[in-house]
Structure 1
């Protein structure tokens, strides 16, 4: 019988590097929701016995701050809601007792303003939003696999994203430096917000890296 294996989906290359400390079966979507759907199904087809959405996220609940870890209770989309596997969530909580439990909004577009975050939190009850969790939830449901979400808050609810942060990533999930610089040249006033976001993202990545230590090699619902 094949060994149990956790399949992890991320949006960014740095997230994927950290995730490989937890499991060797990792895919990075470059924050492309369509690609995330394809890769999540590929992970299920490559022998994953559970799936995990892993990375940074936008905060929706006002009490969450940069660097807070969130373990998903459920993933909601505009069309459906998917309950995270309770045993996998419990094992994540046991390894990361400081993490927050909450519902996740599985978005297909970036939520880029504080006002939009307020509305989404009010209407959905979700505490964070990301672009990969919906794909993981759907792939797990299709394959009959347990799934979970572990995310670190980068930009909190009160902060929107500057336009330069929305110009995309390269195919490997790394920032597209050229488009970012061109966006800054067109609108240099967004530089302070972009620097703030960079610091927030760095802090969230550090929180993920710290979480990877207790999770590496740990049995997460029969997966290692």
Structure 2
């Protein structure tokens, strides 16, 4: 029996392991995440979309914890498990319930964030929740979302932060350096992005520890 954690980044996966989750890393690829979840399906009891996210709603700030109520992706609509979500909310009294938009491409520009907020009604966005939700529906598994806000709704990410990840969820450092060399004016924004991500990762670890082993999943038997 295992609880799967759908993640995009290696750092997210490391935190997931510390609370007994079995991470599947997508590295920013919907296809790869789907494949890795399918490979881990045997023995899975439940699944959580776990990691950092971008804010779409103005009320959300870097470091805020959001617990999904629903996941939307285009015309798709998924409801998160109510009982497990309530456990998460009870452990994280300061968390916010949120509709999560799942996307296949990074939503990096403030204009795109505003459009997605307007069109979907979602409060936050990531690249894994819709994949996890589809997997949960396919395998009849309970599903929740625990995400920490990294970039705020008014933030446009710099080009270096958008370089594709390695399949293991780690950054391609050479590509990042080349991007910076070609456009050094992005350095202040890149530093800010790194600081925001660091704050989000620390909050993710803190929240995970507060919730405890298995993220309080009530379906472990």
The TM tier, using the shorter chain, reads: over 0.9
Alpha-carbon shift at residue 25 of structure 1 (Å):
1.6
For 1:39 and 1:82, the matched residues in 2 are separated by 21
Alignment of 1:93-108 (within 5 A): 93-108=89-104
Alignment of 1:81-92 (within 5 A): 81-92=77-88
Question: Does structure 1 residue 7 correspond to structure 2 residue 4?
Answer: yes
Alignment of 1:38-77 (within 5 A): 38-43=35-40, 45-77=41-73
TM-score under structure 1 normalisation?
0.94
User: What number of residue pairs does the alignment pair up?
Assistant: 220
- Partner SS for 2:32: helix
For 1:180 and 1:140, the matched residues in 2 are separated by 34
Aligned to 1:209: 205
Question: Does structure 1 residue 133 correspond to structure 2 residue 137?
Answer: no
Question: Does structure 1 residue 200 correspond to structure 2 residue 199?
Answer: no
Contact 1:7 1:23 in 2 (8 A): no
Alpha-carbon shift at residue 46 of structure 1 (Å):
2.5
Cα distance change of structure 1 residues 42 and 88 upon mapping to structure 2, 3 Å threshold: farther
Alpha-carbon shift at residue 5 of structure 1 (Å):
2.7
For 1:171 and 1:42, the matched residues in 2 are separated by 15
Question: Does structure 1 residue 28 correspond to structure 2 residue 25?
Answer: yes
Aligned to 1:16: 13
Alpha-carbon shift at residue 68 of structure 1 (Å):
0.3
- Partner SS for 2:70: strand
For 1:30 and 1:73, the matched residues in 2 are separated by 24
Contact 1:59 1:154 in 2 (8 A): yes
Contact 2:84 2:216 in 1 (8 A): no
Residue-by-residue CA offset, 1:45-93 (whole Å, 9 max, x unaligned): 2311110000000110011000000000010001310000111111111
For 1:154 and 1:11, the matched residues in 2 are separated by 14
TM-score under structure 2 normalisation?
0.96
Cα distance change of structure 1 residues 155 and 219 upon mapping to structure 2, 3 Å threshold: closer
Alpha-carbon shift at residue 171 of structure 1 (Å):
2.4
User: Structure 1: 5+ residue runs without aligned partners?
Assistant: none
Contact 1:161 1:193 in 2 (8 A): yes
